[in-house]
Structure 1
Amino acid sequence: MTEVDFTTQFYRMCLARNLDEFRAAVAMNQLMEQNVMYADVEGNIFYVRTGPGSQNPRGRRALDLLATADRMTLEDATRITLDTYAGDSEHWRAALTAAAKAFAGGARVGVLKEALDLLANWAGHRSVDSPAATLYWVWRAKLKDDNAQPAEIAILQGTALPRDQQETLLRALAAARDEIVKRSGHREVPWGEVHRIRRGDQSWPAATTAVECSSLSRFAPSITATRVGCEGCYSGSRW
């Protein structure tokens, strides 16, 4: 337990008198994964995703957006908060495209052409009317279920994958396509039909990423979900 000292870190964060002291406290890196924000009367604003394993797609995307301007309006902050881009999706799609080229002419690539084109032409945003966003979400889930999942670091760095790992990407895409057809009866299902925000007996399509946290059964009469900010509001996936 000597390596875990989040109480001391939190105490120092609370007593920090300026940004330098606050950053020094955060640098202890003893908190569990948290979104930490700081602001002071000098006009300094600071954000960091802390904790072990804090380098996640959402955090990297936030840093990229925050780096685009020295000053930020309320509208800018709202836009970043509600950003629907699937972080790192460009790297995963590039790896998939490379895999398709490596197996060009093969039977597997031929039957996956429609799915491959859908992801290749996708801008990466989880808009409510995007079937590509749904396909990408299910594809990544299938990859996580595969014991032979390619190394994420190699994909993020753009390193060429060995042939067996490229085949894994294609195999997972086929499984994702089949899963979507099995659950919906269609090859293309918009993101907003799967991810919903519910209040009472009403629900609305959700473009935010937070709704990925829980699963809702599309076919069960009772729906369970994750509670969100407003009283009586819930969000989740119909799958």
Structure 2
Amino acid sequence: MKFNLCAGFVISLLLFTACKGDAQLHEVKPAEFESLIKDSTVQLLDVRTADEFNTDHLAHAMQADWTRKDEFARRTASLNKSKPVYLYCLSGGRSAAAAEWLNKKGYTTYNLQGGINAWKQDHKPVEQIKTATPISLAEYLSRIPMDKTVLVDIGATWCPPCKKMNPQIDSLAAVHPKEFILIKIDGGAQTELCAQLKATEFPTFIVYKGGKESWRFTGETDMKNIAAQLN
């Protein structure tokens, strides 16, 4: 009898632990997923490759390729753990694996069952990357005045750390309008220019003084770090 009671207790404990471990992972169908992501400020993450994302994606989605683990870890490090993360991929497999990984990091996740395939089968809307007029390197350099300090912010709308830092960069420029010029480049659209500038990771910040590059930083950073380079 004691053995049965102990065995029952262990089984119950294991079941409780399993349920507790999965408590933050939610699998939802397209209709429910759509209702959950109506607010454009939600953390919506496309875990497919950049090429897949460029073909089509959900509105307001950020992108981090689950198959490139280092990139995925860097980009998702900027996500807010106090808010849920909504994930999707092509058919749901990659995003489910990514969701489990994020759960272990302390995030609450919602995975789109069937991925973007199921989303489109339900006739729900998708977007494509908007084309932009290419900026040549010569045109870019012509925007850098010789007599001003310039901060160039190269990012993308789908980049999680860029999205997090954008309000901070805008605030810095608003507080110090006479101290430097802020130039923003859409790295997602200006791919050739980014290649020429060797800015292949986002965000990339470049400071110019006297028309010459004086400082560069790639990734999320503290505003004090950027402000110190503008003096």
- The reply to whether TM is greater than 0.5 is no
Larger radius of gyration: 2
TM range (shorter): under 0.3
Structure-1-length-normalised TM-score: 0.24
Q: TM-score, normalised by structure 2?
A: 0.24
Higher helix share: 1
The structure in which a higher percent of residues are strand is 2
